[in-house]
Amino acid sequence: MYEIEEFILMESQIMTILDFDILHASPYKFLMRIHQESIMNGIKLTNEINEIDMQKSFIIAQYFLEYSLLNCNMSSKKPSLKAASAYYLGLKMTNSYDKFNKTSNWSNFISDLCDVHSSLVKTTAIEMCKYHENTKLNNKLNSICEKFMKEEYLYVSILINQFCSEN
């Protein structure tokens, strides 16, 4: 009979030999990190971007991450890329992207933080917007829109619908 400790040790050795990684960083964890680093980098403190816009950017990113869970094309993308793309959309929709670039270069910031190139982030953000528009036209996924239409989510669904239909 094996002791629990022996079993766990053997299991750990097998996973090491197989190079099996049991850790999974979700897009939401990356989003939290991007948002926290944005604030820590002084973006909020410069008075260029106000606190409400920072909060809206984060909530918009949450919205797009929820949508990305249902998009088959997004399933193959790195969690860090999805988070960066969603945050990029949040910054664009709150007119905070240019202000962000005044205090921190977006390309360098996102590359250092998430190990993704900014052009790939922008391409993925466009895919996210297109998917949003396609599902909206088919009246699919209304529950996500309704959820983010609430006051606690700062009514960002309205802003998102306007932005995606214009761009």
The reported pLDDT for the residue numbered 128 is: 94
pLDDT at 74: 92
Let me know the angle formed at the C-alpha of 82 by 81 and 87, rounded to the nearest 5 degrees: 100
Which of helix, strand or coil describes residue 71?
coil
Tell me the CATH class for 27-166: mainly alpha
H helix runs in 72-117, sequence order:
79-93, 97-103, 106-114
pLDDT at site 38: 85
Torsion over CA of 135, 59, 143 and 126, rounded to 10 degrees?
A: 0
Per-residue pLDDT, 7:
82
Q: What whole-number distance in Å separates Cα of residue 16 and Cα of residue 10? A: 10
CA gap 34, 58 in Å, rounded: 9
**pLDDT tens-place values along the chain, 167 residues long:** 778 888 888 888 888 888 776 777 899 999 999 999 888 776 655 566 778 888 999 999 999 999 898 888 899 999 999 999 999 999 999 988 888 777 778 888 888 888 899 999 999 999 999 888 887 666 656 788 888 999 999 889 888 888 887 77
At 6 the pLDDT is: 86
- Contact between 88 and 125 under an 8 Å Cβ cutoff? The reply is yes
Give buried/exposed letters for 75-111 (b at 16+ CB in 10 A, else e): eebbbbbbbbbbbbbbbbbbebbebbeebbebeebbb
Report domain extents, the chain: 27-166
